Chains A and B, each alone.
Chain A
Amino acid sequence: MNWQDVIVDIWPQVRRKHLWPELAIPLVDDIETSVAMRMHDKQITLNVETCNTLAEHLPAAIVAEALLDHGISHYTRCPWDFATHLQLYSTAKAELGRKSLAKLATDSFIDVVANTSCVKDLPTPIPDIYRHLGGGVLEGALTALYTHIWGMDLQGSGDPALVRRLGRIPYLDRQQWMPSVRRFSRLLQPLFEEETRQQQTPLVFGRHSLDSYSPEEVLQGLQAFAQQVSDIQQFRDTVGDFTEDLERLGFGAGRGRGCSVDADVLYYMQLAQTYRLPIRSLPMERSGSLEPYSHIPWEASKPVQDIDVWTSFGKLLPGVSQTWVRREGFTYGQREGTPDCLVMLDSSGSMTNPREHVSFAVLGAGCAVEAYLRREARVAVYNFSDAYMDGKTVLPFGADRQAIYRSLCTYHGGGTSLRLRDIEALRRTAASPVPDLLLITDMQITNLEEVIDYLIGVDGRITVVHIGENSATDRFRQVTRHYPRLRVFTVQDRQDIPQIVLGQVQSYFAMSSHRAASAPSSSWL
């Protein structure tokens, strides 16, 4: 039986049925495990052994169509994208507590949703497959569930009370997937545990891993998930379980294999992506001189000195003669770049540990880092607690995002003192003559007065972000209020963060945009 030919024959109608998903034509191959198919980065591969087994009971075209319907529905129905997959997994894990059970629960739930969607919306032979698929207790229970909710006898075996309860879950309501997967997981927990103990392949159609998604989809999914979770711990608990897969896709420290994934660093990196700065790269200025711009027909009342003799055919006639319209020319202004930035982050005991809870300080620093790196500036990190007692992490100026975020996520705890000599030494290594300084702290610094004196005296733009309000912040504000290069912001909540980063840099851009106030707005053409 040449299964590839069968697939080539039926592929056009299957694609049409699913509204032309953007998938390559499926392949057929020997798959080592006893699963029916494998999905890797939008390529579906059917297991020839499964196909042959099923073909003993059903026509080949039916077998192929059913398997393809199932595989395609994972791209078109559930889970559709990696963010949804992560959310389902996270919810299942919160219910079940264990990675192995949560993965099995997620995969099972995804299968049920995908199959049921197909059966409801499309003419599909998936039910025929389930009569002959076999499998263990879990697969038997799911087959019994399908019998119950599809209204077809598929000869499954499952506890009727369990099946009745499973049958009350609204699988096709996307809005209720999270509570649904929770109930699903709770009801089937004993079967998941039994299957896990047996260590066989519990689901005949196979498991769903990150291999099903492209690296770009994984990145988008991580970003979306970082925004959706309530706390970093939830992100870490979930994403940490996919460490191996993420490392294989190159999401570890640096690119390439063998680089470990730090879920906390990943969390802040993805979350900081959601805060943006507008970019104006090449300011234009008016040159001050008038230049010919275009022709318009000459009217009798208009002056004659701008008449273009050549295009007027030597005639001085209204409507025939052409006159020049002049406008002020534009030239490029002095090219403005973005200076490098030295980020000084307080990670003393009074600050939130970024690896336990969402730290607005680290998030704000991350947003600033993204803004500078996006504009091809470099960033240095001075993460300090009691710097005099070596409670510090120093990262020289660079553009390595992973290294920068790792430095930001380091938590020292302990006391708070800022060693200004270190700052000055680091500042002098910047490529740009006057780097920006960004200080994020709760101001409970032992040598606060020294810090104030230093910041007042140093060149460059300084942004100070303080977390919360206390007497030290009042003191700081009072002393520095007359210094225009130094701006102070307060952060009480996540919504304050974009105002901070944008505020300082936006005013800088506002100055340059004011100079080019009547320049044409930058567009893509």
Chain B
Amino acid sequence: MRSSALRNSKDSRGKVRDIYAFISEHLYFSRPDLNLHGEPANATLLLSLLTALTGGKALVIGEPGLGKTTAAEYVCAMVYGFPLGVIWSSVVGGHPEQTEEKIVGRPDLGKLNQGEEAVIWSHFARLPVKIVDEINRLPETKQSLILDGVERGKWEYLNQSLINNEFCLFATANYQDQGTNTLVPPLLDRFDIVVESKHPGANIASLIGQDSSPETILRHPTSEETFLTALQGGRNGKQDPIAQAHKQFAKVVQQQCGIALLSHTERQTLRQDIAAMEVDLAANAFIRMVLSELSFCCQYGQKRSGEACAEGCHYTGYLCYEVNNCASNRLPGSIYRYARALAWWLGHDRVEVEHVRLVLPYAMAHRTKWRESYLLTRERERRQEPLMLHAARQATADIFRRFHEQQHDVMQALSLAAHCLENDTDITLPQGDHPLYAEIRRDLGLE
């Protein structure tokens, strides 16, 4: 069973890699900015792909016109097998006049006039692909509406519900300008990762627009019409017309682009394989060190917004001194999700420290409120990404250094703690300077 699953995974992996290669060569021109075991990759494209595959939630930021939305559209079109026109019909634009009716669904007015409540669900709610363009131009209430819906995969309107079996969310945001609202921390925390869609450089940018519009590759009016009709006719919840439309579009893509799209079953199997991927002990210990540095406070029990560390704290050299808020419980989930996906992408059989180290900056950048002095130290450093991502990357490097020095001692301490909890009282816990040791003692009731 496992070997056939692995075979399927390999085929799926091959398809996904083909999709990645196709998009990067024909649709989304970008510079590689990640080095994955010697293999260059573009962070925006790769992480978007992994988001679509695993059903994550990604916040894509960047200057206007740098492909934030288009990257998400292309990835979703090819992973979920929808023509671009259908994807476009489901995109929610960020502007203050957005209403729940435009986002989620509206009453069937015909039936309403006859006294019957029925809901016509929007394409945004129905399709597994959720793209919100310029989410920070939405009022906070609408941001919250979308994120709550995606969190649970369930949409409600007029006491009726629609449940998505699979979904992913891409939200794009420009940097702060006159017409934008703030993405408040509770909303930011719901995103698994944040990634910047960068300018590809003058040479690559000069290629854009030379050929005919790349979108035509993924446009197929016949398929789009079939889909839209099926979606409109799907008010009775029948999926068959949509499944047929998927097959038709997949055939078109195979013929035109030579790319085999993923079926629903393949996506499900792939997700199961990713979720079942083992995390090795070193990676596990590293994640624990990260979480302890982002949540621990020797003075106040845990980090809290508005409670800054006093000068001269014993843990001044650790990140807990540099952050002003506590890591949420969504952070480890995001780390595991994307580290597993990355390991799967690379064809590894388990998650290792390297996978965690690569995804961690993207998972923590938007969730961390840094002490001003830490940010201002980083501000003047040379970097290739926004300050928050750069600060997160440097913080990751700092924690990794400590992990590198102490990994054996930390894992030994965790092992001894396991024995202690099983009432093995002859064991003496090793002492260490890292906040994780204090956390272990707290868990054992020794502090």
Q: Do chains A and B touch in the complex (CB under 8 A)?
A: yes
Query: CB within 8 Å of B: which residues of A?
Result: 12, 16, 19-20, 22, 25, 76-77, 80, 121, 174, 216, 219-220, 223, 273-274, 276, 278, 292-297, 311, 313, 315, 319-320, 322, 330, 332, 520-525
Asked if residues A313 and B182 are in contact (CB atoms below 8 Å), the reply is: no
Asked if residues B380 and A525 are in contact (CB atoms below 8 Å), the reply is: no
Known: A296-B141, A524-B388, A525-B173. A216 touches B101 (CB 8 A): no
Question: What residues on A are CB-neighbors of B178 within 8 Å?
Answer: 330, 332
Q: List 25 A-B contacts (CB under 8 A).
A: A12-B38, A19-B354, A19-B404, A20-B37, A76-B404, A77-B405, A80-B401, A220-B381, A223-B377, A273-B377, A273-B380, A278-B372, A294-B96, A294-B141, A295-B97, A295-B99, A297-B100, A311-B101, A315-B112, A319-B158, A320-B112, A332-B178, A524-B176, A525-B180, A525-B188
> Is residue B127 contacting chain A, with contact meaning CB distance below 8 A?
no
Question: What residues on B are CB-neighbors of A292 within 8 Å?
Answer: 96-97
> Is residue B109 contacting chain A, with contact meaning CB distance below 8 A?
yes
Q: Shortest distance in angstroms between B151's beta carbon and chain A's nearest beta carbon?
A: 20
Question: What residues on A are CB-neighbors of B405 within 8 Å?
Answer: 77, 174
Known: A19-B354, A25-B38. A121 touches B408 (CB 8 A): yes
Given contacts A77-B404, A524-B386, 16 further A-B contacts (CB under 8 A): A16-B352, A19-B354, A25-B38, A80-B401, A216-B382, A220-B381, A223-B377, A276-B372, A278-B372, A294-B139, A294-B142, A295-B100, A296-B141, A319-B158, A332-B178, A525-B61
Q: Shortest distance in angstroms between B135's beta carbon and chain A's nearest beta carbon?
A: 9
Closest 6 CB pairs of A and B: A294-B139, A20-B354, A276-B376, A295-B99, A525-B183, A216-B382
Known: A276-B373, A296-B141, A525-B175. A20 touches B99 (CB 8 A): no
Which interface residue of B97, B107, B352, B372 has the most chain A CB atoms within 10 A?
Answer: B97
Q: Shortest distance in angstroms between A516's beta carbon and chain B's nearest beta carbon?
A: 14
Inter-chain CA distance A80–B188, complex, in Å, is 34
Query: CB within 8 Å of A: which residues of B?
Result: 35, 37-38, 61, 96-101, 106-107, 109, 112, 136, 139, 141-142, 158, 173, 175-176, 178, 180-183, 188, 282, 352-354, 357, 372-373, 376-377, 380-382, 386-388, 400-401, 404-405, 407-408
* Selected contact of A522 from candidates B98, B99, B176, CB within 8 Å: B176
Asked if residues A313 and B354 are in contact (CB atoms below 8 Å), the reply is: no
Asked if residues A322 and B101 are in contact (CB atoms below 8 Å), the reply is: yes
Question: What residues on A are CB-neighbors of B180 within 8 Å?
Answer: 525
Asked if residues B353 and A320 are in contact (CB atoms below 8 Å), the reply is: no
Inter-chain CA distance A190–B116, complex, in Å, is 99
Chain A residue at minimal CB-CB distance from B405:
A174
Chain B residue at minimal CB-CB distance from A24:
B35
Inter-chain CA distance A201–B204, complex, in Å, is 47
Inter-chain CA distance A223–B139, complex, in Å, is 43
Question: What residues on A are CB-neighbors of B35 within 8 Å?
Answer: 22
Inter-chain CA distance A322–B181, complex, in Å, is 21
Inter-chain CA distance A505–B107, complex, in Å, is 57
Q: Shortest distance in angstroms between A464's beta carbon and chain B's nearest beta carbon?
A: 26
Inter-chain CA distance A493–B104, complex, in Å, is 62
Q: Shortest distance in angstroms between A484's beta carbon and chain B's nearest beta carbon?
A: 28
Chain A residue at minimal CB-CB distance from B178:
A332
Question: What residues on A are CB-neighbors of B107 within 8 Å?
Answer: 313, 320
Inter-chain CA distance A76–B357, complex, in Å, is 15
Inter-chain CA distance A278–B373, complex, in Å, is 9
Question: What residues on B are CB-neighbors of A525 within 8 Å?
Answer: 61, 136, 173, 175-176, 180, 182-183, 188
Question: What residues on A are CB-neighbors of B183 within 8 Å?
Answer: 523, 525
Inter-chain CA distance A295–B380, complex, in Å, is 43
Question: What residues on B are CB-neighbors of A293 within 8 Å?
Answer: 96, 139
Q: Shortest distance in angstroms between A269's beta carbon and chain B's nearest beta carbon?
A: 12
Inter-chain CA distance A67–B114, complex, in Å, is 83
Q: Shortest distance in angstroms between B181's beta carbon and chain A's nearest beta carbon?
A: 7
Chain A residue at minimal CB-CB distance from B109:
A313
Question: What residues on B are CB-neighbors of A295 within 8 Å?
Answer: 97, 99-100
Question: What residues on B are CB-neighbors of A278 within 8 Å?
Answer: 372
Inter-chain CA distance A121–B405, complex, in Å, is 10
Question: What residues on B are CB-neighbors of A219 within 8 Å?
Answer: 381
Inter-chain CA distance A20–B286, complex, in Å, is 14
Q: Shortest distance in angstroms between A405's beta carbon and chain B's nearest beta carbon?
A: 15
Question: What residues on A are CB-neighbors of B37 within 8 Å?
Answer: 12, 20
Inter-chain CA distance A276–B408, complex, in Å, is 38
Chain A residue at minimal CB-CB distance from B406:
A174
Inter-chain CA distance A313–B108, complex, in Å, is 10
Q: Shortest distance in angstroms between B72's beta carbon and chain A's nearest beta carbon?
A: 17
Question: What residues on B are CB-neighbors of A220 within 8 Å?
Answer: 381
Inter-chain CA distance A216–B180, complex, in Å, is 35
Q: Shortest distance in angstroms between B112's beta carbon and chain A's nearest beta carbon?
A: 8
Which interface residue of B101, B183, B353, B407 has the most chain A CB atoms within 10 A?
Answer: B101
Which interface residue of A80, A273, A295 has the most chain B CB atoms within 10 A?
Answer: A295
Question: What residues on A are CB-neighbors of B376 within 8 Å?
Answer: 276
Asked if residues A524 and B99 are in contact (CB atoms below 8 Å), the reply is: no
Chain B residue at minimal CB-CB distance from A313:
B109
Question: What residues on A are CB-neighbors of B188 within 8 Å?
Answer: 525
Inter-chain CA distance A293–B98, complex, in Å, is 10
Question: What residues on A are CB-neighbors of B408 within 8 Å?
Answer: 121
Inter-chain CA distance A273–B379, complex, in Å, is 11
Question: What residues on B are CB-neighbors of A276 within 8 Å?
Answer: 372-373, 376-377
Question: What residues on B are CB-neighbors of A294 within 8 Å?
Answer: 96, 98, 139, 141-142
Q: Shortest distance in angstroms between B443's beta carbon and chain A's nearest beta carbon?
A: 26
Asked if residues B176 and A523 are in contact (CB atoms below 8 Å), the reply is: yes
Q: Shortest distance in angstroms between A307's beta carbon and chain B's nearest beta carbon?
A: 13
Question: What residues on B are CB-neighbors of A322 within 8 Å?
Answer: 99, 101
Inter-chain CA distance A194–B107, complex, in Å, is 92
Inter-chain CA distance A319–B107, complex, in Å, is 11
Question: What residues on B are CB-neighbors of A296 within 8 Å?
Answer: 141
Inter-chain CA distance A317–B238, complex, in Å, is 31
Q: Shortest distance in angstroms between A522's beta carbon and chain B's nearest beta carbon?
A: 7
Question: What residues on A are CB-neighbors of B101 within 8 Å?
Answer: 311, 322
Asked if residues A524 and B387 are in contact (CB atoms below 8 Å), the reply is: yes
* Selected contact of A311 from candidates B99, B372, B377, B386, CB within 8 Å: B99
Which interface residue of A77, A174, A273, A311 has the most chain B CB atoms within 10 A?
Answer: A311
Inter-chain CA distance A76–B353, complex, in Å, is 15
Q: Shortest distance in angstroms between A325's beta carbon and chain B's nearest beta carbon?
A: 8
Chain A residue at minimal CB-CB distance from B113:
A315
Question: What residues on B are CB-neighbors of A297 within 8 Å?
Answer: 100
Chain A residue at minimal CB-CB distance from B179:
A330
Q: Shortest distance in angstroms between B182's beta carbon and chain A's nearest beta carbon?
A: 5
Q: Shortest distance in angstroms between A121's beta carbon and chain B's nearest beta carbon?
A: 7
Question: What residues on B are CB-neighbors of A520 within 8 Å?
Answer: 181-182
Question: What residues on A are CB-neighbors of B282 within 8 Å?
Answer: 19
Inter-chain CA distance A19–B280, complex, in Å, is 13
Q: Shortest distance in angstroms between A200's beta carbon and chain B's nearest beta carbon?
A: 34
Q: Shortest distance in angstroms between B83's beta carbon and chain A's nearest beta carbon?
A: 29
Q: Shortest distance in angstroms between B194's beta carbon and chain A's nearest beta carbon?
A: 9
Inter-chain CA distance A330–B181, complex, in Å, is 11
Question: What residues on A are CB-neighbors of B141 within 8 Å?
Answer: 294, 296
Inter-chain CA distance A525–B185, complex, in Å, is 11
Question: What residues on A are CB-neighbors of B377 within 8 Å?
Answer: 223, 273-274, 276
Inter-chain CA distance A273–B377, complex, in Å, is 8
Chain A residue at minimal CB-CB distance from B173:
A525
Inter-chain CA distance A296–B352, complex, in Å, is 48
